[in-house]
Chain A
Amino acid sequence: NAGVTQTPKFRILKIGQSMTLQCTQDMNHNYMYWYRQDPGMGLKLIYYSVGAGITDKGEVPNGYNVSRSTTEDFPLRLELAAPSQTSVYFCASRKGLGGTDTQYFGPGTRLTVL
């Protein structure tokens, strides 16, 4: 099992550019999450998904979009990148056992928008 994988590890974008952060899990988990972590801060939920075809907004969804066409993949799309989106992005997944199971995190993507 590779667990949760994310690509790329690092990326620098110019203001107004777009990109997709990839996230894949091979644990057959139902729930997947995207978080961002700003320096010295905790994690803030951007979007989440409870299964293929079902996504919903978290605390800070503006400027982002997601899709979940398969159980394994949960890409995060940034349209019109802004400096405020400079952050470390973590993808996570969990099986979904009534809230009593833990999340597994990917290694993160460090994004800088200049």
Chain B
Amino acid sequence: EDKVVQSPLSLVVHEGDTVTLNCSYEVTNFRSLLWYKQEKKAPTFLFMLTSSGIEKKSGRLSSILDKKELFSILNITATQTGDSAVYLCAVGVFSGTYKYIFGTGTRLKVLA
């Protein structure tokens, strides 16, 4: 059974701290790994990592994919209160068609 596990489940930090969120997976026919940020509404897309793009960076956020060890990390440097959200990891798999398996998310709270 395909599985995506995120850790930690929740995290509280102070502004300016650096955080690392983890996503490990066990799936067949891996195609992509996506990170989303979810505040009190729909998930918004952050990054997609594939075999041809295993490292992405955007401002204070960066992510890497380790296809050998089957995990990804999302780093946020110099955290701000606006980074408070649930961060979701989803793995795209092909099983006759393309589907996404979501982890349960990491809830990040950044204190001022």
> Which residues of A come within 8 Å of B, CB atoms?
31, 33, 35, 40-45, 48, 50, 56, 58, 90, 96, 98-100, 102-108
Report whether B100 and A103 are in contact in the complex, using a CB–CB cutoff of 8 Å.
yes
- Which chain B residue has the least Cβ–Cβ distance from A106? B42
Q: Are the CB atoms of A100 and B31 closer together than 8 Å? A: yes
The proximity string for B residues 92-104 relative to A, scoring 1 for CB distances below 8 Å and 0 otherwise, is 1010011110111
Per-position contact with A for B52-91: 1 when CB-CB < 8 Å, else 0?
A: 0000000000000000000000000000000000001010
With both beta carbons as reference points, the residue of chain A lying nearest to B50 in the complex is identified as A100
A102 touches B102 (CB 8 A): no
| A-B pairs under 8 A by CB, number | 58
Extra 8 A-B pairs, beta carbons < 8 Å, given A42-B4, A98-B98, A99-B94: A42-B105, A45-B100, A99-B31, A99-B98, A100-B48, A102-B48, A103-B90, A107-B42
Counting contact residues on chain B (CB < 8 A from A), the size range is 20 to 34
